[in-house]
Structure 1
Amino acid sequence: MKVIYFDTETTGLQCSSCRIIELAMLIFEDGNLIDEYDKFVDIGEPLDKKITEITGITDDDLAQYGYDEGIIAQDLKDNLTPGTLMIAHNCQFDLSFIYYLLKRHFPDEADSIVKNMDWLDTLTVVKDRKEYPHKLIDAVEHYGIEKVNFHRAIDDTKALYQVTRALKNERNDLAEYINVFGYNPKWGVSGYRFDFIDYKSQNFTKFMVHESRILPRR
């Protein structure tokens, strides 16, 4: 089985108009790490100062180390083989950005590429396990995982891997959350709404919900 833990850093929040500037993936096959992928994307335009403050990524980083977006799109296409399990924290966000990137470069294939994957959102799982807040850094602290340099994609991805292991050890029900994304009923679904994802309204809780009441069973 192929599993990819992934994260993106972007120029903003709108997947239709903003761009990925860093993509990181930890790629496992049959439980073995086969690739630690981390690449900057040269978008050919200056970054907003707030993005540099948040991520630590500079225009010089992208100009010196960044790859053309088409290369990143091809890397994604090569790695996103049918049946692969893709795992991210707030997966709706990262999936939306990946989809728009693929759509720009492979307009006739992008829909089938993402549809043939399985998607697991650890944010949805964490909301069923602990009280607010639910960011990745909060999950890291909750499960006693060594802190990393957050807001850099590769470090977030390594933290995501550890959080996913902790969630599985806590209660082995992650398979039920595949292709099920929770959303805040106050704000609705953000980004592109995918027809292969089961979107469910998810309220906050103050404790780990009983197994009969996890979001996929409601």
Structure 2
Amino acid sequence: MFTIKVIFFDTETTWLDCSRCKIIELAMLTVENGVVIDEYDEFINVGEQISPEITQLTGITNEMVSSEGLSEEMVAQDLKERLTADTLMIAHNCQFDLQFVYHLLKRHFPNEADDIVSNLNWLDTVSVLKDRKEFPHKLIDAVKHYDIPEVNFHRAIDDTKALYNVTMAMKSERDDLREYINIFGFNPRYGVNGKRFEFIEYKSQSFHQRIVAPEFTLPNRKSLY
């Protein structure tokens, strides 16, 4: 797909607010020259109780995290070692996962976290999908749209594998993914969710009923913000 290092990643979290909530599972699928060279999937013991709602959604229990989870410090170190400069990070709704990764790094490497994330490149597959198909745009919707075998959604490692297949299908459909790097679409009704990162260009984006002509894709539309 790309001749650079690519990490497909996903997080499962204690809830939605990245300033107060934490990652309880982190998965990364590392690809170099089209070959998967590393699978990383770890629970994180953050010393907090997981709500019944999160357990119902993800299948992750307090017992799993307490018995199998690494410390957040260990996972932060693993991230720091893997997130080498110019790596392309790909996530579905990347703004969400980027914020949680950033805050995790910031807690443990306060003087380095900003440089780590700003020296990477970021691709949001939701922004691509909105230029390709009608609503809805969850990962499971992309999997169904591209006729990809379903996985155990809301478990991070399974989501990264599904994301890899979705990204390959998108590339086969139209080879313009590079144009979306470091450009995130946001719903004009709600604005950007959370922290705005200076290395990301945020553009107002509505969804379309079908794949749009190249001149109307998000990278080619003018930003009003």
The answer to whether the superposition gives a TM-score over 0.5 is: yes
For residue 84 of structure 1, the aligned residue among 66, 82, 87 is: 87
Instruction: Report whether the alignment pairs 1:123 with 2:131.
Output: no
Q: Cα distance, 1:204 vs. partner?
A: 1.8
Aligned partners of 1:199, 1:180: CA distance in 2, in Å?
6
For residue 71 of structure 1, the aligned residue among 71, 74, 84 is: 74
Q: Cα distance, 1:191 vs. partner?
A: 2.0
Aligned partners of 2:198, 2:66: CA distance in 1, in Å?
37
Structure 2, unaligned runs of 5 or more: none
Q: Deviations over 1:48-81 (max 9, x none)?
A: 1101010000000001100000000000000000
Supply the AA of the counterpart residue of 2:63.
D
Q: Cα distance, 1:6 vs. partner?
A: 0.2
Aligned partners of 2:31, 2:208: CA distance in 1, in Å?
32
* Counterpart position of 1:147: 150
Aligned partners of 1:149, 1:16: CA distance in 2, in Å?
27
Matched position secondary structure for 1:185 = coil
Supply the AA of the counterpart residue of 1:108.
N
For residue 22 of structure 1, the aligned residue among 16, 21, 25 is: 25
Aligned partners of 1:193, 1:37: CA distance in 2, in Å?
27
Q: Deviations over 1:105-128 (max 9, x none)?
A: 000000000000000000000000
Q: Deviations over 1:184-218 (max 9, x none)?
A: 00111112110000000001211111011100011
* Counterpart position of 1:104: 107
Aligned partners of 1:179, 1:45: CA distance in 2, in Å?
33
Matched position secondary structure for 1:17 = coil
Matched position secondary structure for 2:81 = helix
Q: Map of 1:189-204 to 2, 5 A cutoff?
A: 189-204=192-207
Aligned partners of 1:191, 1:43: CA distance in 2, in Å?
22
* Counterpart position of 2:181: 178
User: Moved runs in structure 1, 4+ residues, more than 3 A?
Assistant: none
Aligned partners of 2:157, 2:219: CA distance in 1, in Å?
29
* TM-score in terms of structure 1 length: 0.99
* Counterpart position of 1:40: 43
Matched position secondary structure for 1:146 = coil
Aligned partners of 1:76, 1:163: CA distance in 2, in Å?
24
Aligned partners of 1:41, 1:151: CA distance in 2, in Å?
15
Which deviates the most, 21-30 or 169-178? Answer: 21-30
Aligned partners of 2:22, 2:130: CA distance in 1, in Å?
28
Q: Cα distance, 1:132 vs. partner?
A: 0.2
Q: Cα distance, 1:29 vs. partner?
A: 1.7
Q: Map of 1:4-23 to 2, 5 A cutoff?
A: 4-23=7-26
Supply the AA of the counterpart residue of 2:150.
K
What's the % identity of the aligned pairs? 64
Structure 1, unaligned runs of 5 or more: none
Instruction: Report whether the alignment pairs 1:208 with 2:211.
Output: yes
Aligned partners of 2:197, 2:37: CA distance in 1, in Å?
29
